């Protein structure tokens, strides 16, 4: 009797040479007895980094006592041919480009922390990232139509809008770990076992809110509000707790990020000193303060990214020379969990970034929202949020205008739309007049011309 060979899906990691982030996905795949039998391809444009990723994958497999030989290639088309799931985890450009996205706005008085999601830096990061993501999408349409594109690359909302508008058959979803990390923080702060925590989170990426927060049928918000009076907690997340104090709900991304999405915290130096000072510095031997970005210190992400580069290279070297052990604990990332839910038809609830289209009725249908989704053998089914608090919708509407305009500008190669996107940014609005915004935008176009779509040239 002959049996048909079971269908095996193809999973592709684009940007696998980053190794550390890819390592989480490789662990999640290889610790799953079913998924590790599927075809896995690692792709990166840097052959040396790619070789390191393959070596680390071999170490994980050896530690698990299994055989695993991923396909590795620097050729995007080869990697994507016949793929079912594509996870994008690459970085576009260099730290120097990131510095320019901070330094030029700061010269005009626009103070940023991370500049990867909103603001002048976030919009231009979107332009240089989408230049590469559009290439991935186009090759997917040709080589694996109908596949899932699971994107981790920021700016999440702007990228998701642009990719979703351009996609013809490819199914696009944006993935972030803000909700997972924040829910774990809240469990710790309130003394709640994580497995007992029940929450409903929705809004816009990096500015979603915990709409419901419970354990054992009891509302946990009173315990969370009590943290306003606990300096050891409040001072670590001053901006987020001020948002809770004044708007009634807790957001799902760090204070450093949130401080640059709103007009309230970075418009004057006294406000920056009050709400964005790092009260718990953690400086390593290289002079990197690891708590500076989460606290909201100006330009901290550039320093943190340099530190991560140093730390990651040491970590990879340690894995390869045997001086460092690989931890096989599963990650909190949704990427492989989504693939497993679809392949095994086992329900998964995950907060994903998708086009709104009525999911939150008080936000524009053409924006990107982060909402709970049901994932199973039928695919990804986003959930509709009823009665989204109006004060939260007002905050998120302040973000989505810039994101929609930025995505439209990226799609059309339209400099004017990019100017409008930056002019719509709440932090920029709090600091500059229109002539200043135009001059700043033109200077950013000139400085970053080598890494954005040539259509933007004057």
d(CA 340, CA 320): 29
Report whether 176 belongs to an annotated binding site. yes
DSSP conformational letter for 332: S
Helix, strand, coil tally for the chain in percent (to 5): 50, 15, 35
Distance linking the first and last C-alpha atoms of the chain? 69
Q: Is 297 exposed, middle or buried (0-12, 13-18, 19+ CB in 10 A)?
A: buried
> Quick check: bond before 420 cis, omega within 30?
no
Report whether 227 belongs to an annotated binding site. no
Please give the structure tokens belonging to residue 439.
């001059």
**Residue 177 a catalytic site member:** yes
What 3-state class would DSSP assign to 13? strand
Closest CA to 354 of 204, 179, 153, 174: 174
Sequence-distant (6+) residues with CB within 8 A of 405 are 417, 418, 420, 421, 424
d(CA 411, CA 140): 17
User: 71 to each of 10, 16, 316, 359, how far by Cα in Å?
Assistant: 10, 12, 20, 39
HSE-up (13 A, CA, CB side) for residue 148: 26
Any idea which residue has 């007895």 for tokens?
Answer: 33
**Rg for the chain, CA atoms, rounded:** 22
HSE-up (13 A, CA, CB side) for residue 161: 28
The residues with which 174 forms a beta bridge, in sequence order, are 151, 353
d(CA 223, CA 365): 35
Output the DSSP codes for 139-167. Answer: HHHHHSTT-EEEE-PSSHHHHHHHHHHH-
d(CA 369, CA 352): 8
- Name the catalytic one among 38, 177, 246, 420: 177
The residues with which 204 forms a beta bridge, in sequence order, are 207
The residues carrying an active-site annotation are: 177
Sequence ranges of the binding site for substrate: 154
Sequence ranges of the binding site: 154, 176, 206
Sequence ranges of the binding site for Mn(2+): 176, 206
């Amino acid at each position: 009797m002959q049996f048909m060979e079971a269908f095996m899906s193809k999973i592709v990691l684009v940007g696998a040479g980053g190794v550390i982030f890819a390592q989480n996905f490789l662990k999640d795949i290889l610790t799953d007895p079913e998924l590790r039998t599927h075809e896995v391809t690692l792709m990166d444009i840097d052959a040396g980094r790619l070789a390191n990723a393959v070596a680390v994958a071999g170490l994980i497999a050896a530690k698990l006592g299994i055989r695993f030989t991923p396909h590795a290639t620097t050729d995007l088309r080869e990697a994507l041919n016949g793929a079912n799931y594509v996870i994008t985890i690459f970085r576009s450009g260099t730290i120097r480009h990131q510095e320019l996205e901070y330094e030029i706005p700061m010269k005009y008085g626009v103070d940023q922390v991370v500049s990867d999601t909103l603001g002048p830096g976030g919009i231009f990061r979107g332009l240089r990232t989408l230049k590469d993501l559009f290439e991935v999408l186009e090759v997917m349409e040709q080589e694996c139509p109908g596949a899932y594109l699971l994107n981790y690359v920021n700016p999440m909302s702007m990228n998701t809008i642009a990719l979703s508008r351009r996609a013809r058959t490819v199914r696009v979803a944006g993935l972030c770990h803000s909700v997972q990390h924040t829910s774990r923080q809240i469990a710790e702060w309130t003394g709640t076992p994580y497995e007992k925590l029940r929450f409903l989170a929705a809004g816009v990426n990096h500015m979603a809110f915990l709409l419901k927060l419970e354990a054992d049928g009891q509302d946990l918000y009173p315990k969370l509000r009590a943290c306003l009076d606990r300096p050891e907690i409040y001072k670590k997340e001053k901006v987020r707790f001020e948002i809770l104090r004044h708007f009634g709900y807790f957001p799902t991304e760090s204070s450093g990020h949130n401080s640059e999405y709103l007009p309230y915290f970075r418009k004057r130096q006294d406000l920056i000193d009050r709400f964005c000072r790092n009260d718990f510095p953690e400086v390593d031997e290289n002079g990197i303060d690891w708590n500076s970005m989460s606290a909201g210190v100006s330009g901290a992400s550039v320093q943190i990214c340099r530190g991560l580069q140093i730390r990651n290279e040491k970590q990879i070297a340690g894995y390869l020379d045997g001086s460092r052990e690989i931890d096989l604990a599963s990650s909190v990332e949704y990427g492989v969990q989504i693939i497993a839910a679809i392949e095994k038809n086992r329900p998964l609830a995950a907060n994903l970034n998708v086009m709104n289209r009525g999911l939150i009725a008080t936000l524009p249908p053409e924006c990107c929202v982060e909402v709970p989704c049901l994932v199973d053998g039928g695919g990804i089914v986003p959930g509709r949020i009823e009665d989204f608090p109006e004060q939260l919708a007002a905050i998120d509407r302040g973000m989505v205008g810039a994101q929609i305009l930025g995505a439209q500008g990226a799609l059309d190669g339209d400099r004017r739309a990019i100017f409008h996107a930056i002019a719509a940014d709440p932090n920029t609005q709090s600091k500059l007049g229109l002539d200043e915004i135009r001059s700043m935008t033109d200077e950013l176009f000139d400085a970053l011309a080598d890494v954005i779509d040539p259509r933007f040239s004057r």
